Amino acid sequence: MDPDPPQKRRRIGNIDSEVSAGEAAKGRKVSRACDFCKSRKSKCSGTQPCDKCLAKGRHCLYDAKYTRGRPPTPPMRPEAGDAEESAVPSRASPEIGMAEIQGQVFDSTSGLSFLHRAWKRLSAQHTSIGNEEVGASETQPVTMAGDNPLSTETHEPLRLPDPTEARRLLALYFDVCIATYRFLHRPTVEAWLDVLERNMETEQPIWRGIGHARAAIVLVVLAIAVAHREKSNNFTSVGGEANALKLSDELFSIAARLTDGETGFPRLESAQARLVQVLYLLTTSRFNRSWFVFGIALQFVSALGLHRRANFKRRRIARTVDYIHVQCGLRTFWTAYILDNHLGVIFGRPRHFHDQDIDQELPERVNDDNMTADGPINTPGNPDCHIDALIFHTRIARIIGKISREIYSTRTLSEEERVAAAHRLMHEVHEWHADLPLHLGSIPPSMLIPSYRRQATVLKLAHAHAIMHSKRLFLLGNSASLQKDQVDDCLAAARVVLETVDASAAEGPIFHAFWWTHYVTFTALVIVYVWEIQQRRQGWTIANEAELLRLANRCHTHLAQATATNSPSRRYAVILEEFREAALTNNQIVEQVNLGLPVEVNVDPLLAGSSQNPGPAAMQGLTFFDEWEMTDWLDLDSSAFWPHADISESLEWPSYIYG
C-alpha cells in the first residue's frame, strides 16, 4: 500500500525566488520577493502586485529590509490598476521572527504564531517568579521534568488515616473522585484495607498477606481521596499546594516503592496499581510523570491480554472462573482505553490502542455489591448501575477517536470529505446520547446522589466535547448560509460546558480537582473566542452575545485559578488570553463584557501583561485564520504541553537568513 501523501506544512523553502512571469522566456531569476511571500518563504513572481497577492486580493508591498545589495525595483504589472486591492493589517508581532515548535516552523504570520507569544508570556512570568523552578526541572529525572516534585521522596514511615477516616476517604474515592473510571471492586479494596491496617497494628510489612500491588492500590486510593479533599479547599499558591498534598504525596511515594519492588509475573493488580497511580498524578497536575507511568500500565494491560476476548476464553478453559476477577479485568482495560484516548488528545501524541486490534467485550451491568466470585446476584427489575457510566464513556471515547482519525487526518482530504465525515460521526453521537439511561442523560445532575451526579456531569461534558470536536471545523468556513446551523450547534455545546463549569465553580473549588474538565473548558473557550473573531467576518450572530462572552470570561478566570502556577490549566489560561485579546479588540461590546464582571478578568498574575507581552496588536486583523489548517486544531489542543526548549529565543531565525 502506498504511504499517505505527506501533508503540506509551512517550512523553510528555497531562498532564491522564482522566475517572474514577464521574464520566463529569458529564464531570469527574480532577486526579490514581496513582503508577504518573503514572510511565508514561498515562491514569488517578483512583479507588483505579484501573482499570489493578486489572486488573494492582498496589498502587495516591497518594504522589508533588503540585505543583498541594492534592492531591485519590481516591475509593475500592467493590469495592476484593474486589480482590486484591500489593505490587510499586519498580524506580525514586532519581536517575533521565525520559531520552531516541536519540529514545525512557524513564521510571524503563521496561524499558530500566537502560541509562541503565549509561551513567551508564560516564560516571562516564570522568570519573574524566580529561577528555582527552572533549576529544579534541570535536575529532575527525564520522566518527571517540569512536574511539581513530590512533597517527600524520603523513606518516611507510613502514616495511615485512622480507620473511620480511611473508610470516609474510600467512600469519597468511589463516589466522587473516579466518576466513570470504576476498575476497582469496592468490597475487595475495603478488605485489602482491613489487612493493611492489621499489618500496621502487628508491625508486619504492610503488604503481608496481600502482596505489593494490592497494598499499593489501597495507598493510592487513599492518596487520591486526600488530594481531592485538599484541592477542594482552594489553595492558591505553589507552597500552599505542596503543604496540602504532603500526606497524599507520602502515601503515593510509598505505593510507588511497593510497585517498584513487585516480583514475579504480572497480575491484574499489577496493571491496576499503575493505572490508579496515573489517576493520582493527573489529579495533582504531574502530567509528565503520568504519561510515562501510563505507558508502563499499558504494557501490563497488553501483556495480560486484556484487549482480546480470546484470552478470556482460554482462561475459562484453564481454570475456574472468578467472576469478579474477569469483570475487573474488563473494567481495567476499558478504563485504560478511555485514558489513552484522553491523553492522546491533550498531549497531541499517538494513541497506543487501535480499534482494529481490539475485540474485547464491554463489562456487564453489575454493581460491585451484587458481584460474587461465582457470578452476579440477580436483582429484580433493571435498577440503575454505576457501570453504565463506564460503558457509555467507552462508547463516546470510541466515537471521539473516530473523529480525530477521520476529520483531523494528516492525509490530504478535501473539505467535502471532512464535512461528510463530520455529519456521519455526529449521527453516531446523537444515537449515543439517545441511548443514555435516564439518570445519566435526562435527569438534572443536581437531583442525583453524589456518585451518579458526578457520572452524569462527566458524560454531559463528554457529549459536549464530541460535538465541539466534530463541528469546530465549521467555524472556519466561508459559507455562512450553509454552515450556520453547524456553528450554532458547536456554540451551544461550548455554552453547555461553560455553564456547567461556572455552576461547579459557584458551588465551591471542586472544579480544581478535575484535570479532564480543564481541557474541555479550554476547548469551549477557544470556540467562543474563535467564533467572536469569525462572526465579524461572516456576519454570524447568536442570541445573548454579550452574556456568552461574560460567561466565557468567568470560566477563563476559573481556569486560571485552578491548581498550581505551573499546571496545564494555568498554561491554558495564558494561551487563551491571546485569543481573548483578538476576540475583544475593537469589539463594540467590550464595555458590556467588562461591566458584567465584578473584578478584572486578569486576576491571575500569569495573565497580567508584561514588557514582553505584545498585546492585542499582535493579533489584529480579520485574516487570523486564513492559513489555518485542520491539524492546527490538534496542535492547539496540545499546546499546553509543548516543550519549553522548542520555543526558546534561540530557535528564532535571524533576519539575515531571508535577505
Please check the confidence at residue 380 and state whether its pLDDT lies above 90: no
- By CB atoms closer than 10 A (0-12, 13-18, 19+), residue 60 is buried
Distance in angstroms (rounded) separating the CA atoms of residues 174 and 222: 11
Cell of 439: 439518570
Distance in angstroms (rounded) separating the CA atoms of residues 361 and 378: 21
The predicted structure's pLDDT at residue 505: 83
Residue 250: count of CB within 10 angstroms of its CB: 22
**Which pLDDT band holds residue 230 (cuts at 50, 70, 90)?**
confident
Indicate whether 113 and 221 sit together in one domain: no
Q: Would residue 469 count as lying in a domain?
A: no
Instruction: Convert the pLDDT of each residue in 173-216 to its tens digit.
Output: 999 899 999 999 999 999 999 999 999 999 999 999 999 999 99
Name the residue range of residue 35's domain.
21-82
Q: Would residue 320 count as lying in a domain?
A: yes
The predicted structure's pLDDT at residue 159: 86
Which of 324-328, 414-418, 594-598, 648-652 is the least confident region?
648-652
- By CB atoms closer than 10 A (0-12, 13-18, 19+), residue 305 is middle
Indicate whether 158 and 299 sit together in one domain: yes
Q: Would residue 25 count as lying in a domain?
A: yes
Please check the confidence at residue 100 and state whether its pLDDT lies above 50: no
The predicted structure's pLDDT at residue 383: 74
Indicate whether 166 and 77 sit together in one domain: no
Distance in angstroms (rounded) separating the CA atoms of residues 592 and 595: 5
- Better pLDDT: 458 or 70: 458
The predicted structure's pLDDT at residue 458: 94
Instruction: Convert the pLDDT of each residue in 559-582 to its tens digit.
Output: 888 755 557 777 888 888 888 887
- Better pLDDT: 653 or 405: 405
Indicate whether 165 and 187 sit together in one domain: yes
CATH code for the domain of 43: 4.10.240
Which of 179-183, 280-284, 354-358, 473-477 is the least confident region?
473-477
One-letter identity of residue 131: N
Task: Decide: 173 and 225 in contact? Cβ < 8 Å.
Answer: yes
Bin 615: left if φ > 0, else alpha if -120 < ψ < 50, else beta: left
The predicted structure's pLDDT at residue 342: 94
Cell of 248: 497524599
Indicate whether 69 and 157 sit together in one domain: no
Mean pLDDT of the region 493-517: 85
Instruction: Convert the pLDDT of each residue in 248-258 to its tens digit.
Output: 999 999 999 99
Q: Would residue 444 count as lying in a domain?
A: no
Output the DSSP codes for 96-125. Answer: --BEEETTEEE-TTSTTHHHHHHHHHHHHH
Rounded to the nearest angstrom, the gap between the alpha carbon of residue 140 and the centroid of all alpha carbons in its chain is: 24
Rounded to the nearest angstrom, the gap between the alpha carbon of residue 428 and the centroid of all alpha carbons in its chain is: 23
Indicate whether 35 and 111 sit together in one domain: no
The predicted structure's pLDDT at residue 43: 78
Number of domains in the chain: 3
**Count H helices, E strands: the chain?**
23, 4
Distance in angstroms (rounded) separating the CA atoms of residues 84 and 55: 10
Which of 36-40, 321-325, 430-434 is the least confident region?
36-40
Indicate whether 173 and 70 sit together in one domain: no
Domain boundary among 338, 357, 383: 383
The predicted structure's pLDDT at residue 122: 56
Q: Which of 260-264, 332-336, 623-627 has the highest mean pLDDT?
A: 332-336
Task: Decide: 151 and 250 in contact? Cβ < 8 Å.
Answer: yes
Indicate whether 118 and 154 sit together in one domain: no
Indicate whether 343 and 220 sit together in one domain: yes
- Better pLDDT: 377 or 427: 427
% of residues, the chain, pLDDT over 90: 42
Backbone dihedral angles phi then psi of residue 51, each to the nearest 5 degrees = -60, -45
**Which pLDDT band holds residue 519 (cuts at 50, 70, 90)?**
very high
Domain boundary among 356, 383, 410: 383
- Which stretch of DSSP H or E encloses residue 287? helix 287-303
One-letter identity of residue 168: R
Task: Decide: 420 and 474 in contact? Cβ < 8 Å.
Answer: no
The predicted structure's pLDDT at residue 11: 37
Q: Would residue 409 count as lying in a domain?
A: no
Rounded to the nearest angstrom, the gap between the alpha carbon of residue 43 and the centroid of all alpha carbons in its chain is: 36
| Beta carbons within 8 Å of 69's beta carbon, 6+ residues apart | none
Mean pLDDT of the region 404-420: 87
Q: Would residue 442 count as lying in a domain?
A: no
The C-alpha cell 473522585 sits at: 177
Task: Decide: 1 and 42 in contact? Cβ < 8 Å.
Answer: no
Domain boundary among 363, 383, 403: 383
Q: Which of 73-82, 270-279, 317-326, 606-615 has the highest mean pLDDT?
A: 270-279
Mean pLDDT of the region 524-540: 81
The predicted structure's pLDDT at residue 510: 66
Please check the confidence at residue 417 and state whether its pLDDT lies above 60: yes
% of residues, the chain, pLDDT over 70: 67
Strands 99-101 and 104-106: antiparallel
Mean pLDDT of the region 298-318: 78
Please check the confidence at residue 340 and state whether its pLDDT lies above 70: yes
The predicted structure's pLDDT at residue 348: 87
Q: Would residue 401 count as lying in a domain?
A: no
Backbone dihedral angles phi then psi of residue 104, each to the nearest 5 degrees = -105, 130
Cell of 277: 497511580
- Better pLDDT: 653 or 584: 584
Q: Would residue 213 count as lying in a domain?
A: yes
Strands (E) located in 332-484: 371-372, 375-376
Of 645, 636, 4, whose CA–CA distance to 348 is shortest? 636
Distance in angstroms (rounded) separating the CA atoms of residues 515 and 493: 19
Indicate whether 116 and 46 sit together in one domain: no
Indicate whether 124 and 146 sit together in one domain: no
Instruction: Convert the pLDDT of each residue in 109-140 to its tens digit.
Output: 444 555 666 656 655 555 444 444 545 566 77
- Better pLDDT: 240 or 433: 433
**Which pLDDT band holds residue 13 (cuts at 50, 70, 90)?**
very low
Indicate whether 121 and 192 sit together in one domain: no
Task: Decide: 269 and 217 in contact? Cβ < 8 Å.
Answer: yes
